[in-house]
Amino acid sequence: MKTRKKVSVLYAPGTNCEEETMAAVELAGGNPRLVFLWDIYHKKERITDCDLFIAPGGFSFGDHLETGVSVATFLEDYFGLLEEAKVPMLGICNGDQTLVRSGLFGAGVAMIQNKSKVFRSRPSRHRVLPSHCVWTKGLEGRVLSFPSAHGYGRFTGDGDLNVVMEYVGASPNGGKIAMITDDSGLIAVLMDHPERPYDNPDGQLIFKSGMSTV
């Protein structure tokens, strides 16, 4: 019998998409469990006690320029432990902000305000590009649809970013990049929501792809 992968879903102040994320993981064949920032920071939980790690969306201390920086400050060293253990990580929306702010993609990478300067919530389409990202393996060339909901969702960075997905048609933030990965291909972030709704067939492809590589 195939063992279901253990997937840790981070819960931190401001998180509000943990239930959808856990439901999406379970539907994709994983075994999700909620892990609390407090327990990780105080060493009641080992952050590496999982097969995959997801930082879900929400409004962590507000959807503004420093979104996610507080959580990143607490867990920066712990994310490094996941990186060293080669545990695949996915950051969604404010989880994206948190992983980017923790420096996993380099000091020059950041999320900046939408060109419209307003919060955008809308259906969005994303083209999967050829890349070494484990979360989109086998999906290259496909166009995936799931919603966006952010005010500071535009990628910017020094040098070349490892782009995984680009927007097709209208972009919610005015930028072209929808998803990036790190040099290893194990860590990826996107501002849009593949877990909404949890049974979105296109979003399920991302979760299933990530779990199939472990």
Averaged over 157-176, what is the pLDDT?
A: 92
Identify the domain containing residue 117 by its residue range.
Answer: 6-212
Tell me the C-alpha distance between 159 and 147, whole Å.
Answer: 28
φ, ψ dihedrals at 112, nearest 5°: -120, 170
- Band (76; pLDDT cuts 50, 70, 90): confident
| Residues belonging to the active site | 93, 193, 195
Averaged over 143-148, what is the pLDDT?
A: 97
pTM of the model: 0.94
pLDDT in tens, 25-74: 999 999 999 999 999 999 999 999 999 999 999 764 455 545 566 788 78
Number of domains making up the chain:
1
With respect to residue 1, please indicate whether it lies within any of the assigned structural domains: no
Higher pLDDT, 135 or 121: 135
CATH number at residue 38: 3.40.50.880
With respect to residue 184, please indicate whether it lies within any of the assigned structural domains: yes
